[in-house]
Amino acid sequence: MSLAYQIRDGHLLWIRNPFTGVTSYAVELRAKSFAYTLRQHHHRTEHAAQGGDDPRRLQIALEECPFCPGHEDRSPAEILRLSPAEVAQWQGTQMLPDAPWVVRAFNNLFPRIPGELTAGRNESYVIVEDARHFLDNPRSVHDLLYTGALGEAHFAAVVGVAARLVERAMSNPAVGSVVVRKNQGPESGASQPHVHQQVIGSPSILPALEIEMRAQREHPNLWNEMVELARELKLIVEEGDGVVSYVNPAGTFPQSYDVVAPGFFGALSDLTSEQLRTFAGALHRVLSFLGPLPLDYEIHQGEGLPLHAHINVRLFPYSNVAGTLNIPRHLPEIAARIRRQINGEDK
């Protein structure tokens, strides 16, 4: 399936996801309230406003967390760590002056795919992105550190660790493909409050990648068409140095973003350190705009595919009705808002 969509008077009416066939209809959502969709999120904000938690509750959360410093023995053996000296401008030195590490990686205690299927090796990994559990001056157990709050160089270091794990998983001949996956917030499937992401090696080509690879073979220009359409609809967030990010009207969720390196067909681990910083930087700027909102992202890589990331935000209600979604008609305004923030024009 190639790109199918309809534009009238410069506005997108509908677009079909070229991989899944799901059709998104652009509708007016500005007046709609999201209090119900984001109930949990709102609840937290309200809770903090009401004076927050007893400090003891915050202490208990740290004591219970298997990802906090001092609890290294609660996870499988460490594969690698980055020390504070290895993470440029780490912002946690005041909160954790004696942190033994900033980033840590180990096998997932609960592998996504059973190790028996990848020659007996567990190819599911966890990256703890920061030693800090909470944001500065937390008032509630819900004031958690989130990925968009990390410094840009720090986030690039985290993506660098993901690249090393991708390489490690790919060195297993029983692994067919590897995905980097982030769940932010319980609404998106995160099971641990401490900021972390995953790298998952699969014995076969992962289904989402298989569909994309097939579409790519049939329509080699598909990604360029997506970028051109984003340009026409004023949905580009940033473009330059071989990486483009845009609001994707045909994403999996009603608010989705793509970060694509249209001319780079390798894996995350094939990027030079400069290319990795460019790619991670573009991803980080979208994440920092989205802040603590519940979201997920995946970095996709596969034979013939341009390296890319999908970010799916749980803001507008997700309701798939017989293969159709509603997307907000004002996506170009959202793209303009993030461009202004990136350019420092507003906060």
Contact assessment for residue 212 and residue 305, using Cβ atoms and an 8 Å cutoff: yes
Determine which helix (DSSP H) or strand (DSSP E) holds 165, and give its type and residue range.
helix 152-170
Determine which helix (DSSP H) or strand (DSSP E) holds 8, and give its type and residue range.
strand 4-8
Residue 132 makes contact with Zn ion by CB under 5 A: no
Contact assessment for residue 335 and residue 247, using Cβ atoms and an 8 Å cutoff: yes
Residue nearest to Zn ion (CB): 65
Q: How far apart are CA 134 and CA 69, in angstroms?
A: 13
Tokens read off for 179: 């995905």
Contact assessment for residue 339 and residue 330, using Cβ atoms and an 8 Å cutoff: no
Residue 65 makes contact with Zn ion by CB under 5 A: yes
65 or 236, CB closer to Zn ion? 65
In the complex, least distance from residue 30 CB atom to Zn ion, rounded to whole angstroms: 29
Three-state SS at 236: strand
Region binding Zn ion by CB under 5 A among candidate stretches 149-157, 176-184, 241-249, 295-303: 295-303
In the complex, least distance from residue 27 CB atom to Zn ion, rounded to whole angstroms: 25
Tokens read off for 168: 């490690």
Region binding Zn ion by CB under 5 A among candidate stretches 41-49, 51-59, 170-178, 205-213: 205-213
Q: Which of residues 70-129 bind Zn ion (CB under 5 A)?
A: none
Amino acid at 63: E
Region binding Zn ion by CB under 5 A among candidate stretches 3-11, 150-158, 192-200, 234-242: 192-200
- HSE on the CB side for 203, CA within 13 Å? 13
Burial, 146: exposed, middle or buried (Cβ in 10 Å; 0-12, 13-18, 19+)? buried
Q: Where are the beta strands (DSSP E) in 28-150?
A: 78-82, 103-107, 124-128
Angle between helices 273-290 and 331-342 (to 10 degrees): 120
Tokens read off for 257: 């973003």
In the complex, least distance from residue 68 CB atom to Zn ion, rounded to whole angstroms: 3
Region binding Zn ion by CB under 5 A among candidate stretches 46-54, 61-69, 216-224, 311-319: 61-69
Total interface residues for Zn ion by CB under 5 A = 7
In the complex, least distance from residue 247 CB atom to Zn ion, rounded to whole angstroms: 16
Q: Which of residues 210-239 bind Zn ion (CB under 5 A)?
A: 212
139 or 329, CB closer to Zn ion? 139
Region binding Zn ion by CB under 5 A among candidate stretches 37-45, 66-74, 146-154, 314-322: 66-74
Three-state SS at 287: helix
Residue 133 makes contact with Zn ion by CB under 5 A: yes
In the complex, least distance from residue 11 CB atom to Zn ion, rounded to whole angstroms: 26
In the complex, least distance from residue 108 CB atom to Zn ion, rounded to whole angstroms: 16
List of residues 6+ apart from 138 with CB closer than 8 A: 52, 58, 144
Residue 146 makes contact with Zn ion by CB under 5 A: no
**What dihedral do alpha carbons 301, 216, 250, 158 form, nearest 10°?**
10
In the complex, least distance from residue 308 CB atom to Zn ion, rounded to whole angstroms: 5
27 or 208, CB closer to Zn ion? 208
Q: Which of residues 298-337 bind Zn ion (CB under 5 A)?
A: 300
Residue 170: φ, ψ to 5°: -70, -20
164 or 181, CB closer to Zn ion? 181
Residue 194 makes contact with Zn ion by CB under 5 A: yes
In the complex, least distance from residue 192 CB atom to Zn ion, rounded to whole angstroms: 8
Return residues touching Zn ion (CB under 5 A): 65, 67-68, 133, 194, 212, 300
